Amino acid sequence: MSEPSSEQLLERMLQGVFNEPDPQRRAEVIAAVFTADVVFVDAGQTATGREELAATVTGLLAQGPGLVFTPAGSFRGVGDLGMRAWRLGPPGGEPVLGGLDVAQVVDGRIARLWTVLDA
């Protein structure tokens, strides 16, 4: 079986991690998509490892209950990097926030994830 592409990993991450309200299901996807020592960096923090990532996502989801992440624009990638813009907002409504995820893939899993928020 071939390893998932960075595009597939970013899509699964968006839907199965950042849009998943159930912590157990979210943890299962985190284990499948991210390396054990993943590093996630955004403007406010750095989380290292799957448990810190899970806690960070739980905190982010609590800040915007009912909001969902949707891809914005096409996937871009080069080498081991994949990039996907996204928007956050109510289902079917205007986005309240947007950004770009940049993921470095190692051995079929995301090892580093940077989130850059739109200005």
pLDDT digits (tens, 9 = 90+) for 37-49: 999 999 989 999 9
Residue 1 in any domain: the answer is: no
Q: Which residue range(s) make up the domain with 81?
A: 6-117
Ramachandran category for residue 4: left, alpha or beta (phi over 0 → left; psi -120 to 50 → alpha): beta
Token digits of residue 75: 């996937």
pLDDT digits (tens, 9 = 90+) for 79-90: 999 999 999 999
Question: Quick one: pLDDT band at residue 1, thresholds 50, 70, 90?
Answer: low
Q: How many domains does the chain have?
A: 1
Helix (H, G, I), strand (E, B) or coil at 105: strand
- Asked if 73 contacts 85 with a C-beta cutoff of 8 angstroms, the reply is yes
Average pLDDT over the chain, rounded to whole? 95
Please tell me the pTM assigned to this model: 0.94
CATH of the domain at 54: 3.10.450.50
